[in-house]
Amino acid sequence: MLQEESDLSLIIAQIVQKLKGSNLYSQLERQAWASLQRPEIKLESLKEDIKEFFKISGWEKKLQNAVYSELSVFPLPSHPAAPPEHLKEPLVYMRKAQGSWEKRILKSLNSMCTELSIPLARKRPVGEQKELLNKWNEMGTDEPDLSLFRPVYAPKDFLEVLINLRNPNYENGDSLSFRTHLGLIQVPLKVKDIPELKECFVELGLNIGQLGIDDSTQVPPELFENEHVRIGQKVLSEQDSAAAQQYIRQGSPTALRAELWALILNISSQPEDVLYYEQLKTNVIQHDLLVDSLIYKDVKLTASNDDYYFVFEDYLYQVLLCFSRDTSVLSHFAFNSASPPKSYIRGKLGLEEYAVFYPPNGVIPFHGFSMYVAPLCFLYHEPSKLYQIFREMYVRFFFRLHSISSHPSGIVSLCLLFETLLQTYLPQLFYHLREIGAQPLRISFKWMVRAFSGYLATDQLLLLWDRILGYNSLEILAVLAAAVFAFRAVNLMEVTSLAAAEAVLADLSTLKVMPLLQIFLFATVT
């Protein structure tokens, strides 16, 4: 009991600490001062009266949402004496692996820099600044010569690193047994099995209404959809983050999705947020970064060629270029196993006073990175709002898909979860694919790294991301990947090569995500 209490007070202290520096805090303070003018606030019962005022005016709700947001994002402290790197990643071998991977990425970036004789950053001459400002809304029409630039890394490079991960304290033994994991990932992390997943994703059960299934044309809307929409509207009018997160587990109605996501992510688009975005835009105009070219190249290679997202090409530049310059993103490295690359002012190598993070937000984009932003363009068309939503999605979820960690939503765990599900529940398929040299993870890895963006139809992708938000976890990506294999199992059993297996799984655009998930979790014999 005592331990729990002290844990709780530690958490409260940490959250208070975090919120004290926030905008909300100063707003609450102002509101409290202003409320003293009100007749119902009496000196004798000052504290209670102000609390009551906050409750009625909706400020308590805002505070509640902020606290809830902190709880969702910030990992709970394991031990008060735990050093900061444990918050990033508790396992030493994982931290080391991430460190080496980062060194490789930086080396690759630096050598590209040297080869092309392009500085990592330079100030734009005034003429160039003016030009860029003029075509801010149509940067897609620019055709800079990007042929010499290569993406710093692609998902398959990252997969190779994960395959070689080993826990030095774990002795597998040479003999194969039924316990032997036959997949590519060879580290012993705990992953859920289907009974545990069923408990976790209980709202996806067969007897519970879902958007993505129970709103299809054959089902009368009175059965589920109308009521669900009504509840959604109520949740929005109450402006309750926690309720929204619970609600969205059953999917979001199209018309309410933009607001619901903003509520869950606790994004409210204040004037200072718009100003902050404009400031970032100014930074983009004034300075050119090498990563800008990487971003351009990525957008041109991926989103511009996508059937759904090509329309939003210009928005993608506006978001990603600003993102690179946003130093507020650096705070998420406290709980990210990755660390921002450090660079030094010319001639001052090794001197900490002259160290800068590069890029300013510490995130080096890889091939396909822009696909994290693209689906959001279907929901938000105001650039600063779009930007805020993306940034929050990144620091809550997406960063876990390209850093090495033991977190249950980290890419390593997702890969292991995927492989374990396949091996346990579709052993024949798994064994067959392995025999023909088509390890399933080699095909599904790219889906998970991109959170399926660009592989599913947009409406299906949004239904999937609803559940990511609803369950505050990326595990559903691994479950879906396994469900896709289960769905195409018959065809896959007949292929005899990796290329043929890839072909069977090349086109996911016709898949309906929710029925697949439901069947895999709740209608498969375990």
Partner 1 sequence: MAGKVKWVTDIEKSVLINNFEKRGWVQVTENEDWNFYWMSVQTIRNVFSVEAGYRLSDDQIVNHFPNHYELTRKDLMVKNIKRYRKELEKEGSPLAEKDENGKYLYLFVSQSNKEAYVISLYINNPLLIGGRKFDLRLYVLVSTYRPLRCYMYKLGFCRFCTVKYTPSTSELDNMFVHLTNVAIQKHGEDYNHIHGGKWTVSNLRLYLESTRGKEVTSKLFDEIHWIIVQSLKAVAVNASPSLTSSTANDRILKYNLINDTLNIAVPNGEIPDCKWNKSPPKEVLGNYEILYDEELAQGDGADRELRSRQGQSLGPRAGRSRDSGRAILTTWK
Q: Which of 85, 115, 193, 307 binds partner 1 (CB under 8 A)?
A: 307
The Cα–Cα gap between 280 and 326 comes to: 7
Q: Does 314 bind partner 1 (CB under 8 A)?
A: yes
Pattern 437-476, binding to partner 1, x per CB under 8 A?
---------------------xx--x--------------
Q: Does 240 bind partner 1 (CB under 8 A)?
A: no
Which residue number, 188 or 221, has a Cβ lying nearer to partner 1?
221
Q: Does 237 bind partner 1 (CB under 8 A)?
A: no
Helix (H, G, I), strand (E, B) or coil at 75: coil
Residue 449 contacts residue 155 (beta carbons within 8 Å): yes
- Which span sits near partner 1 by CB under 8 A: 103-111, 123-131, 164-172, 249-257? 249-257
Q: Does 386 bind partner 1 (CB under 8 A)?
A: no
To partner 1, the closest distance from the beta carbon of 380 in angstroms equals 8
Q: What phi and psi, each to the nearest 5 degrees, are found at residue 342? A: -105, 140
The Cα–Cα gap between 284 and 516 comes to: 43
Q: What phi and psi, each to the nearest 5 degrees, are found at residue 355? A: -85, 140
To partner 1, the closest distance from the beta carbon of 257 in angstroms equals 6
To partner 1, the closest distance from the beta carbon of 140 in angstroms equals 8
To partner 1, the closest distance from the beta carbon of 450 in angstroms equals 19
- Which span sits near partner 1 by CB under 8 A: 20-28, 190-198, 266-274, 305-313? 305-313
- Which span sits near partner 1 by CB under 8 A: 73-81, 337-345, 375-383, 491-499? 375-383
Is residue 389 classed exposed, middle or buried when 0-12, 13-18 and 19+ CB atoms within 10 A define those classes? buried
3-state secondary structure 248-281: HHHCCCHHHHHHHHHHHCCCCCCHHHHHHHHHHH
To partner 1, the closest distance from the beta carbon of 305 in angstroms equals 5
Give the binding-site size for partner 1 (rule: CB under 8 A): 31
Q: What phi and psi, each to the nearest 5 degrees, are found at residue 343? A: -130, 165
Which residue number, 380 or 418, has a Cβ lying nearer to partner 1?
380
To partner 1, the closest distance from the beta carbon of 367 in angstroms equals 17
Q: Does 377 bind partner 1 (CB under 8 A)?
A: yes
CA 300 to chain centre: 22
Helix (H, G, I), strand (E, B) or coil at 80: coil
Residue 372 contacts residue 449 (beta carbons within 8 Å): no
Which residue number, 359 or 368, has a Cβ lying nearer to partner 1?
368
Q: Does 142 bind partner 1 (CB under 8 A)?
A: no
Using CB under 8 A, which residues numbered 79 to 138 contact partner 1?
137-138
Pattern 211-230, binding to partner 1, x per CB under 8 A?
------xx-xx---------
Q: Does 33 bind partner 1 (CB under 8 A)?
A: no
Is residue 111 classed exposed, middle or buried when 0-12, 13-18 and 19+ CB atoms within 10 A define those classes? exposed
Q: Which of 185, 280, 295, 379 binds partner 1 (CB under 8 A)?
A: 379
Q: Which of 158, 296, 335, 378 binds partner 1 (CB under 8 A)?
A: 378
Q: Does 384 bind partner 1 (CB under 8 A)?
A: no
Q: Does 308 bind partner 1 (CB under 8 A)?
A: yes
What proportions of the chain, in percent to the nearest 5, are helix, strand and coil? 60, 0, 35
- Which span sits near partner 1 by CB under 8 A: 65-73, 278-286, 311-319, 358-366? 311-319
Residue 468 contacts residue 248 (beta carbons within 8 Å): no
Q: Where are the alpha helices (DSSP H) in 117-224?
A: 126-134, 155-163, 194-200
Residue 36 contacts residue 296 (beta carbons within 8 Å): no
The Cα–Cα gap between 299 and 500 comes to: 29
Q: Does 304 bind partner 1 (CB under 8 A)?
A: yes
The Cα–Cα gap between 474 and 238 comes to: 27
Sites of contact with partner 1 (CB under 8 A): 137-138, 141, 217-218, 220-221, 253-255, 257-258, 304-308, 310-315, 377-381, 458-459, 462
